[in-house]
Amino acid sequence: MSVPESFESPQPVPLVYTDVTVVPEHERNELEKSISSLEGEVLELKSKLKSLDDKRKEVLNKIIDTKGSIRVFCRVRPFLLTERRPIREPVSFGSDNVVVRSAGVRKEFEFDKVFHQSATQEDVFGEVKPILRSALDGHNVCVLAYGQTGTGKTFTMDGTNEQPGLAPRAIKELFNEASMDHTHSVTFTMSMLEIYMGNLKDLLSARQPLRFNEASTKCNLNIQVDSKGSVEIEGLTEVEVPDFAKARWWYNKGRRVRSTSWTNVNEASSRSHCLTRITIFRRGDGVGSKTEVSKLWMIDLGGSERLLKTGAIGQTLDEGRAINLSLSALGDVIAALRRKKGHVPYRNSKLTQILKDSLGTRSKVLMLVHISPRDEDVGETICSLSFTKRARAIESNRGLTEELRKLREKKISELEDEMQNTQESCKKIITRLQEAECLLTENKKLLRTTHEKYEEDMEEKLLSPINHLKETDATPKSSDKLVKISKSSGFVPRFMTSTVTSRLRQTMSEKEINARPQSIRSVAKTLTQISTSQSLSLSDSRSRGLLRRSYTKPIQTASNSGTPEAPKRDIKDLSFQKKNLNDTSLPRSKMVTSSDPNVRAKLCHHRRRMSSLT
């Protein structure tokens, strides 16, 4: 790995220390110095990253606001294989306008973006992506698919396995972005619900036995608004999604429940609104930093076609109401959005109650109107497009003169350049940060191992020079090295002599031993005595016996014990013993690498038992 420029050291530190068991004092000092300089660098990089991230947020917000915090896109469905293509197609389009010709009348509608029949799911997602970043930055975001039944709303939002739609792509992107955020920890939860005829249905609930339109499933979810204006749906299942796979699993489950819970599948599912909510919890690294919560709503609205078109006349009143609600859903949302811009109050349907805090001042809204290319759907197409015209009219920057329009585009392009530069700087800093953090971990590890190894080996050497040299079977290779080095170097550097801390540790460990139950105390005490009087190695049969007994006994007690608390206590004792064995100058490397199967087996056993408790 490359060493950062600011990491200046007279000698290349990692090269010097690799594979060397004993570190001369001056090199150790160098290592410590480099650790502290790396720590400083990491802090500095993190703070730089934080300010760049703030700048990026600000620029993105400006871009979105200049483009319009309510954006309206149009997607035209391609002809299906089963459909007859007319000679003169009624709908034609440019990059930001749609023209509909019907019975000699020509109507033109403008959009922020038009997706032609050949547009892929990726193309659509590409335009939605910036708004997701905005959701991660703490804004509430709403993406709504709207249009006549059969125009591709579900295809756009959900997609197929081969061509995943916006929702799975957006969720994946959120995880992706979150994993690259080095200054925050980001977590997600997910909820899904359906609104049909003013009733709310929890799609992720564990209990889904009843059909939606049965009386017992009528709205049991209460919509609440807290003092900060944040909307909560009481009783709605909210699942934690630690990774994309889990999120996808829940999403698919919700979709399945939606499509299978209807008595009249086609009618009801095309009339209901399906809402997916991802709640984002973003917390800064710093001490005392607050958690920011934002929501991303992805909504597949019910079909907007009018009563006559579907031949629904004569059907029940409820269904008639549902059709009207479907038709007016976007109208309600538009009215709510108008309020956001200081316009008139609006009708508070279930949908707008739920979305209240996501259609507000700081929120971003994206509407995707879907239209059919067919001749026979022209009437519905014009109706859908007229609705979205109202939505677009909310943004004050519509209907600008050509000059102002150009100025606006120039500003957006400048902001986008700025955004790109900021993102590139962020990337560079992240790479550097990762390098520095990696190097830091390596150096710390190196310092720890060489230091511990050195202390152990020195203690061992000082305590038992004769036995240490005799030992062959259970000693790791590195120990041989130590012997050679110890023999050749006749001096003891200052840092190897006992320090105040090491003496204190020794006293502490003796005190701890005295406070323990008799059986352990006796073993530990014996080990302490041995350590101060003579050598202890695993080649020494007496020591091995001691070790074996000291590890075996508590585990046997645990396995015989019938109370649930007992194993915990025994394990605590065991770890205590292990600690004391270490503290009492037993060479640790020998314990770990021991060829004694008894010692090894018991250590594994211990580990397994610990994990089964957590």
Choose among Mg ion, ligand ADP, none what residue 189 binds, the Cβ cut-off being 5 to 8 Å by kind. none
- What character string, x for contact with Mg ion (CB under 5 A) and - otherwise, covers 514-553? ----------------------------------------
d(CA 466, CA 471): 9
373 in contact with ligand ADP (CB under 6 A): no
Least distance to ligand ADP, CB of residue 266, Å: 10
Q: Which of 34, 151, 422, 584 binds ligand ADP (CB under 6 A)?
A: 151
Residue 150 interacting with ligand ADP (CB under 6 A): yes
Residue 109: which of ligand ADP, Mg ion, none does it interact with, CB under 5 to 8 A by kind?
A: none
Beta bridge partners of residue 193, listed in sequence order: 202, 275
- Residue with smaller CB distance to Mg ion, 147 or 554: 147
| Shortest Cβ 157–Mg ion spacing (Å) | 8
The site that binds ligand ADP (CB under 6 A) totals a number of residues, namely 14
Instruction: Tell me which of ligand ADP, Mg ion, none is bound by residue 151, counting a contact when its beta carbon lies within the kind-specific cut-off of 5 to 8 angstroms.
Output: ligand ADP
Other CB atoms within 10 Å distance of the CB of residue 436: 24
Beta bridge partners, 71, equal 366
- Number of other CB atoms surrounding residue 565 within 10 Å: 8
CA–CA distance, 212 with 143 (Å, rounded to integer): 25
- What residues contact residue 51 under an 8 Å CB cut-off, 6+ apart? none
Query: Comparing C-alpha atoms, which of 579, 522, 531 is closest to residue 549?
Result: 522
Q: Three-state DSSP class for 72? A: strand
Q: Applying CB under 6 A, which part among 149-157, 216-224, 377-385, 400-408 lies near ligand ADP?
A: 149-157
- Comparison of 78 and 235: residue with beta carbon closer to Mg ion: 78
How many Å apart are CA 306 and CA 308, to the nearest integer? 6
Which of the listed partners (ligand ADP, Mg ion, none) does 90 bind, with a CB threshold of 5 to 8 Å by partner kind? none
The footprint of Mg ion on this chain (CB under 5 A) covers a number of residues equal to: 2
Min CB(392)–ligand ADP separation in Å: 21
- Rounded CA-CA distance 420/178 in Å is 18
Residue nearest to ligand ADP (CB): 152
| Backbone conformation region of residue 52, classed left if phi is above 0, alpha if psi is from -120 to 50, else beta | alpha
Shorter beta-carbon distance to ligand ADP: residue 154 or 352: 154
Nearer to ligand ADP, 152 or 567 (CB): 152
Nearest to 134 by CA among 174, 190, 180: 174
Burial class (CB in 10 A: 0-12, 13-18, 19+), 125: buried
Mapping DSSP to helix (H, G, I), strand (E, B) and coil, where does residue 587 land?
Answer: coil
155 binds ligand ADP (CB under 6 A): yes
Binding to ligand ADP, residues 293-352 (CB under 6 A): 303
Phi, psi for 594 (deg, rounded to 5): -55, 140
Q: Using CA atoms, how far apart are residues 458 and 482, in angstroms rounded to an integer?
A: 9
Interaction residues for Mg ion, span 146-165 (CB under 5 A): 153-154
Nearer to ligand ADP, 119 or 610 (CB): 119
Q: How many CB atoms lie within 10 A of CB 476?
A: 14
End-to-end CA distance of the chain: 36
What is the strand order of the sheet 91-93 is part of? 91-93, 97-102, 105-110
Q: Which does 168 bind (CB under 5 to 8 A by kind): ligand ADP, Mg ion, none?
A: none
Nearer CB in complex with Mg ion: 153/282: 153
Sign for the pseudo-dihedral over CA of 330, 336, 339, 340: negative
Looking at residues 241 to 270 of the shown chain, list those that interact with ligand ADP (rule: CB under 6 A): 270
Q: Which of 21, 134, 140, 154 binds ligand ADP (CB under 6 A)?
A: 154
Q: Write out the binding residues for Mg ion, residues 447-486 only, by CB under 5 A.
A: none
Burial class for 89, CB neighbours closer than 10 Å (0-12, 13-18, 19+): middle
Contact status: 454 vs ligand ADP (CB under 6 A)? no
Instruction: Answer for the pair 169, 324: CB distance below 8 angstroms, yes or no.
Output: no
Q: At what angle do helices 597-613 and 541-560 cross, to 10 degrees?
A: 30
Considering CB distances under 5 to 8 angstroms, the limit depending on partner class, which of ligand ADP, Mg ion, none binds residue 370?
ligand ADP
d(Cα 62, Cα 83) in Å, to the nearest integer? 44
**Which window, 146-154, 260-268, 313-321, 445-453, contacts ligand ADP (CB under 6 A)?**
146-154
Residue 24 binds which of ligand ADP, Mg ion, none (CB < 5-8 A, kind-dependent): none
Return the residues of window 60-79 that contact ligand ADP according to CB under 6 A: 77-78
The CB-of-368 to ligand ADP minimum distance in angstroms stands at 11
- List the x/- string, 584-603, binding to Mg ion by CB under 5 A: --------------------
Our finding on whether 168 is near ligand ADP (CB under 6 A) is no
Give the residue with the Cβ less far from ligand ADP, 241 or 299. 299
Q: Residues 153, 255, 271, 295: which binds ligand ADP (CB under 6 A)?
A: 153
* CA separation, residue 313 to residues 264, 304, 317, 358, 578 (Å): 16, 16, 10, 35, 81
Applying CB under 6 A, the span of 37-45, 150-158, 309-317, 361-369 interacting with ligand ADP comes to: 150-158
Is-contact 204 239, C-beta < 8 A?
A: yes
C-alpha span between 550 and 545 (Å, rounded): 8
CB of 303 to Mg ion, least distance (A): 7
Binds 71, which of ligand ADP, Mg ion, none (CB < 5 to 8 A, cut-off by type)?
none
C-beta of 153 vs 392, nearer to Mg ion: 153
Binding site residues, ligand ADP, CB under 6 A? 77-78, 80, 147, 149-155, 270, 303, 370
Q: Which residues bind Mg ion (CB under 5 A)?
A: 153-154
